[in-house]
Chain A
Amino acid sequence: MSPSHTAGFARQATETVAVAPVGWRDACLGELDRGGRFCGAYAVGAGAGRRWNALFADGEATRMLSLEVGEGEAVPTIVDLLPGADWDEREAHDLHGLDFAGRESLRPLVAHTAATGSWTVPVSGEGTYQVAVGPIHAGVIESGHFRFHVVGERILHLDPRLFYKHRGLQRAAEGASPERGLAFAQRACGACAVANSVAYALACEAALGLVADREARRGRTLLLELERLYNHLNDIAQICAGVGFAPGNMAFAALKERALRLNAELVGHRFLFGTVAIGAGPEVSAARADALRGALRELGEDAASAWRELSFAASVQARLGGVGVLSAEDAAALGAVGPAARAAGIALDCRSTSPGLWYGSSFAPAAPARPSGDVGARLEVRGVELPATLELLQELLAEPIGAGGSDPGPADPRGVARVESPRGETVCAVELTVARRLGRVHLRTGSYANWPALAHATADNLLPDFPLINKSFELCYACADR
């Protein structure tokens, strides 16, 4: 396979490099050496023609290393070099039958095996025992199981067991047209519907040889920021609930409700469903843009005063420091993204490298004053990003958004796109068949990337703090299970 290179267009270029099995680990290390960042891997095909593709982000570009996997062959693992690839390898084993050589174990991830010992890390010692929580939780929470290994109330290790909500969406989308596949990407997660759909649409457009025009890029960016707005308000409300601070929980729940109502007024759906299309963008008239700007300004003022008040609530602040710490080193090794990474002091925000959207060259990732990687820092990132998002929305709505379209660009049967969701970088890879049907859709959401980091951050904390730590990441189960 010859490397294909596309640059100079308003899209995220993807370069593919074929690698032989013997050189796989060195090739992956080489990507890291040249400044690449691992952002997912996925298996394609069945039988003798299987491939294992690893993605590396490098600024605006994405590089893909592609390995052909023969019948009965095992892929050399990279999990010792890139711990962030752990879930990718385990998922490929469970769903595509890939074997990996050189790993300590390939514990089932997506597959649910009966024996607890088969999917948990063995933990033993005096006074250790396990606490099983879920899949059904106490409140209105998505389904997933947590197996805590504890001594007394102290967590030694957490084995999350998700995929109770696995609907086989990626598999179900295969064979569909790119347009029809959009529904599968959107319904992977209600709270990240826009981010997932935009990532999918951008990946399809790259594969189809389309480049979204200025208006489509502005429209999609508007939708992405509206999604971030209600999610961040929700996350702050949830963290308040996690420490039992009802006034903060309810005040931010009320602000989130206002944001959802504005979404409904603008596009007719509170969660912005059905607003993203391939090769097109949403239209916003001058009157609607003006009305939305005014409403967002009021919402922003109320959110700012509520946030200020929250920062002076000593009983809340006292509960946040030093809880659920994720160090910068661990965040980087585990491939954490989004607010979780930024709270640990990693200046990573996909919006600063999204030429297919409308963030501009001056966009800079938010940096909390204390990047301590704890619950408090993750809360602060949301608080810092709210005004930035509101400012972006004001800029986008300063003029009406016309009906978006697309221009022709270079086509490649494979398209990859990266979009910053409220939970971090979401990567979508799409491979088309010669008949321009979906051969493979791979969606690796910000939640998927962050779950291993969350599990890691719980170690050495008290079991009763887990709900708070969980809410400070506020990851979706649906988008990981898909």
Chain B
Amino acid sequence: MFVLLRHLQRVRREAALPRRQGARSLAIRHVDAGSCNACEHELTAIAAPQYDFQRFGLDIVASPRHADVLLVTGPITRRMEGPLLSAYEAMPEPRRVAALGDCALGCNVLADPAELALPLDQLLPVDLRIPGCPPTPAEISAAILEMIDGG
């Protein structure tokens, strides 16, 4: 245990992450609507010690009922359209929608068109677009923080 904690201490020292000024928070609900799993790996990584997005008050929550932001990955398969819209409906207002990765942005999507629903921005009002295949953890954190700071 102490060795692991020492490892983490060293990683934190090397990363030298600045502390966030002021108290704010944002609860994010993630929905995978048909991604290749690379966006999920990077979204998980923003909690790793090298990024530690929780220091900004950002958190991934387990229910849309608790969420401020619906963060969507993937090109929206026909089979995920219903669950995605249900998750959005379950969110309290005000609520925002973020598209994570090129697929969710409708860019360079590889699929049989018959298996896809409409692109995300035609199903829901998209407030934040985070391009990349996949976007890096640093890019994801920066884009979300910009949305908070932008009001």
Partner of B49, one of A112, A184, A254, A271: A254
Partner of A187, one of B30, B36, B43, B62: B36
Q: Indicate the size class of the contact surface on chain B.
A: 35 or more
Quick check: is A183 within 8 A (CB to CB) of the other chain? yes
**Cross-chain contact A251 with B7 (CB below 8 angstroms):** yes
* A-binding segment of B19-27, B73-81, B91-99: B73-81
**Cross-chain contact B50 with A257 (CB below 8 angstroms):** yes
Quick check: is A260 within 8 A (CB to CB) of the other chain? yes
Quick check: is B114 within 8 A (CB to CB) of the other chain? yes
Partner of B3, one of A138, A184, A309: A309
Q: Is the interface of B mostly helix, strand, loop or mixed?
A: mixed
**Cross-chain contact B45 with A253 (CB below 8 angstroms):** yes
Give the total of A residues in contact with B, Cβ under 8 Å. 50
Q: What is the 8 Å Cβ interface bit string for chain A, positions 295-329, against chain B (1 contact, 0 not)?
A: 00000001001101110010000000000000000
Contacts of B110 in A (CB 8 A): 167, 169, 172, 183-184, 187
Contacts of A168 in B (CB 8 A): 111-112, 114-115
Q: A143-B83, A164-B79, A254-B49 are in contact. Are A247 and B4 (CB under 8 A)?
A: yes
**Cross-chain contact B75 with A167 (CB below 8 angstroms):** yes
Nearest Cβ distance between residue A124 and chain B, in whole angstroms? 28
**Cross-chain contact A191 with B48 (CB below 8 angstroms):** no
* A476 to B41 alpha-carbon distance, docked (Å): 11
Quick check: is A37 within 8 A (CB to CB) of the other chain? no
Partner of B34, one of A141, A167, A190, A271: A167
Contacts of B2 in A (CB 8 A): 309
Quick check: is B1 within 8 A (CB to CB) of the other chain? yes
Instruction: Give the nearest-CB partner of B12 in chain A.
Output: A254
Quick check: is A171 within 8 A (CB to CB) of the other chain? yes
Number of A-B contacts (CB under 8 A): 143
* A253 to B8 alpha-carbon distance, docked (Å): 10
Nearest Cβ distance between residue A43 and chain B, in whole angstroms? 16
**Cross-chain contact B37 with A142 (CB below 8 angstroms):** yes
**Cross-chain contact A254 with B32 (CB below 8 angstroms):** no
Nearest Cβ distance between residue A446 and chain B, in whole angstroms? 14
Quick check: is A273 within 8 A (CB to CB) of the other chain? yes
**Cross-chain contact B50 with A306 (CB below 8 angstroms):** no
Partner of A140, one of B4, B40, B63, B115: B40
Q: A172-B110, A191-B38, A478-B37 are in contact. Are A254 and B77 (CB under 8 A)?
A: no
**Cross-chain contact A165 with B35 (CB below 8 angstroms):** yes
Contacts of A302 in B (CB 8 A): 7
Nearest Cβ distance between residue B55 and chain A, in whole angstroms? 13
The residue in A140, A164, A189, A310 that gathers the most chain B C-beta atoms within 10 A of its C-beta is: A140
* A479 to B38 alpha-carbon distance, docked (Å): 12
**Cross-chain contact A260 with B45 (CB below 8 angstroms):** yes
**Cross-chain contact B37 with A191 (CB below 8 angstroms):** yes
Q: A191-B41, A251-B7 are in contact. Are A140 and B60 (CB under 8 A)?
A: yes
Nearest Cβ distance between residue B15 and chain A, in whole angstroms? 9
**Cross-chain contact B30 with A140 (CB below 8 angstroms):** yes
Partner of B37, one of A248, A260, A476: A476
* A270 to B110 alpha-carbon distance, docked (Å): 20
Q: A167-B116, A187-B110 are in contact. Are A138 and B80 (CB under 8 A)?
A: no
Q: What is the 8 Å Cβ interface bit string for chain B, positions 94-131, against chain A (1 contact, 0 not)?
A: 00000000000000001110111000000000000000
The residue in A183, A187, A271 that gathers the most chain B C-beta atoms within 10 A of its C-beta is: A187
Quick check: is B133 within 8 A (CB to CB) of the other chain? yes
**Cross-chain contact A171 with B112 (CB below 8 angstroms):** yes
Contacts of A164 in B (CB 8 A): 34, 77, 79-80, 83
Task: Knowing that A171-B112, A257-B45, A306-B3 touch, tell me 20 more A-B residue pairs with CB under 8 angstroms.
Answer: A140-B30, A141-B40, A142-B40, A143-B33, A165-B32, A166-B115, A167-B77, A167-B110, A167-B112, A168-B115, A190-B37, A247-B5, A250-B4, A250-B48, A251-B7, A253-B45, A254-B8, A270-B136, A271-B134, A479-B37
CB<8 Å pairs between A and B, sample of 6:
A143-B32, A164-B34, A165-B35, A191-B37, A247-B5, A253-B44
